[in-house]
């Protein structure tokens, strides 16, 4: 395992409070091979919850939101984009927008200084127009050039609407001058005190960024806000710091009722390239293929390799935006996630995704789900 010094996280006693928001929005019916390959039999569909994050700096009295999920009025996307969603078989359900979720719990949303887009895809951009005009919109490098203007100023804009950004400050992050690297990620210290960093993590989309929040000090612990750096934990694990274990606990098929571990050898038949390589890789876009969602699959794979160095540690909780196997493990907003290390969430969640491979490995028993979603192939 890499030593902590190799991550080069600057020392600090400053922390932020983080809540993981289950936005209530979902996308179901997506073809996994739009996102990752090779195809593993039985893992035929993705059903994705969508997470965002409320980040509050207690001493500076500053607050921002990382990602906004889906917009509640998604029917107002440009007509050509809605037609594409229908053709792809995607089913959207958005009971509430993120601001509604926050308002329902008494958050002073008028005081939120910024909303952050991890990247410019519809299930992360939400509806910034529901926030105050004084709320800054923060985006990653190259986003303005790539995505602006929105619809209807640009009739061919895929889903971005002018109303998302007109009349508010749009701040594009610049990683070229910060001089900070967290592991191998160029980083920006947002508050200037080591409590929160943006990480440059391109590939899936131009300008994709992650967030790294220090939520405790002495000892340090961090929550990594992953956006779409991975779409399934099988793109991230196993890796050199967490090879496929000989014994897996909790049991991915019976996490609620069984104290007995699952033998790791059961999954060897679906390994892609040995016990230290992830089951999946980002799907490579072929010439003329609009099916694949990644802007640059090779760069996406490189960002995942960088992420594996942080995923090595039990004091860093990696939260991809659509990891449905966190639903039965973590505490969601309005609760704080700061004490995840004490509660052991990292170890509890690490291998639960293997439930998606039950059919591929010939398991015929009942599969328990810690949430009401069940395996994503259901």
Q: Which pLDDT tens digit goes with each residue over 319-347?
A: 999 999 999 899 999 999 999 999 999 99
- For position 190, what pLDDT does the model report? 98
Give CA–CA dist 236/100, Å, rounded: 33
β-bridge partners, 17: 56
Mean of the per-residue pLDDT values of the chain: 92
Q: Which residue has the tokens 């490098």?
A: 141
| Residue pLDDT, tens place only, 64-86 | 999 999 999 999 998 888 888 88
Q: Which CATH architecture has domain 4-230+317-339?
A: 4-Layer Sandwich (3.60)
Say if CB 318 and CB 311 are below 8 A apart.
Answer: yes
231: nearest Cα among 72, 49, 371: 49
| Residue pLDDT, tens place only, 97-118 | 999 999 999 999 999 999 999 9
Residue ranges in 9-134 assigned as alpha helix (H):
79-88, 98-104, 122-125
357: nearest Cα among 232, 228, 239, 241: 232
What is this structure's pTM? 0.95
3-state SS assignment for residue 228: coil
Judge whether residue 298 has pLDDT over 80. Answer: yes
What is the separation of C-alpha 164 from the centre of its chain, rounded to a whole number of angstroms? 21
Kindly report the backbone phi and psi dihedral angles of residue 55, in degrees, each rounded to the nearest multiple of 5, phi listed first. Answer: -115, 120
- For position 372, what pLDDT does the model report? 52
Give CA–CA dist 160/137, Å, rounded: 13
Long-range contacts of 144-153 (CB under 8 A, 24+ apart): 144/170, 144/172, 146/120, 146/206, 146/207, 147/120, 147/206, 151/78, 152/78
Judge whether residue 373 has pLDDT over 50. Answer: no
- For position 303, what pLDDT does the model report? 98
189: nearest Cα among 8, 1, 10: 10
Locate the domains of the chain by residue range.
4-230+317-339
């Amino acid at each position: 395992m890499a030593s902590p010094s190799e991550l080069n996280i600057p020392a600090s006693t400053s922390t932020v409070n983080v809540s993981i928001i289950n936005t209530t929005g979902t996308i179901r019916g997506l073809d996994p091979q739009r996102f990752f390959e090779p195809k593993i039999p039985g893992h035929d569909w993705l059903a994705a919850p969508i997470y965002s994050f409320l980040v509050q700096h207690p001493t500076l009295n500053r607050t921002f939101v990382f990602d906004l999920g889906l917009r509640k009025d998604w029917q107002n996307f440009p007509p050509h984009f809605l037609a594409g969603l229908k053709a792809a078989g995607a089913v959207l359900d958005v009971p509430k927008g993120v601001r509604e979720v926050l308002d329902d719990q008494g958050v002073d949303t008028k005081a939120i200084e910024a909303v952050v887009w991890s990247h410019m895809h519809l299930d992360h951009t939400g509806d910034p127009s529901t926030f105050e005009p004084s709320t800054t919109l923060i985006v990653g490098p190259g986003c303005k050039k790539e995505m602006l203007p929105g619809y209807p100023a640009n009739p061919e804009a895929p889903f971005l609407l002018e109303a998302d950004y007109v009349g508010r400050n749009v701040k594009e992050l610049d990683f070229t001058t910060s001089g900070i690297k967290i592991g191998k990620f160029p980083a920006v210290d947002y508050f200037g005190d080591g409590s929160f960093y943006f990480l440059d993590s391109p590939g899936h989309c131009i300008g994709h960024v992650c967030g790294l929040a220090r939520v405790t000090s002495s000892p340090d612990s961090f929550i990594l806000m992953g956006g779409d750096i991975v779409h399934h934990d099988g793109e991230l694990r196993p890796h050199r710091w967490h090879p496929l274990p000989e014994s897996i606990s909790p049991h991915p098929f019976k996490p609620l009722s069984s104290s007995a571990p699952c033998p790791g050898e059961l999954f060897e038949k679906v390994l892609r390239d040995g016990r230290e390589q992830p089951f999946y890789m980002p799907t490579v876009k072929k010439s003329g293929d609009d099916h694949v969602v990644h802007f640059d699959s090779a760069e996406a794979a490189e960002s995942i390799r960088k992420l594996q160095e942080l995923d090595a540690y039990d004091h860093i909780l990696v939260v991809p935006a659509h990891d449905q196997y966190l639903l039965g493990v973590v505490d969601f907003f309005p609760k704080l996630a700061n004490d995840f290390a004490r509660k052991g969430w990292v170890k509890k969640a690490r291998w639960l995704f293997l439930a998606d491979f039950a059919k591929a490995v010939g398991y015929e028993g009942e599969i328990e789900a810690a949430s009401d979603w069940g395996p994503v192939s259901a």
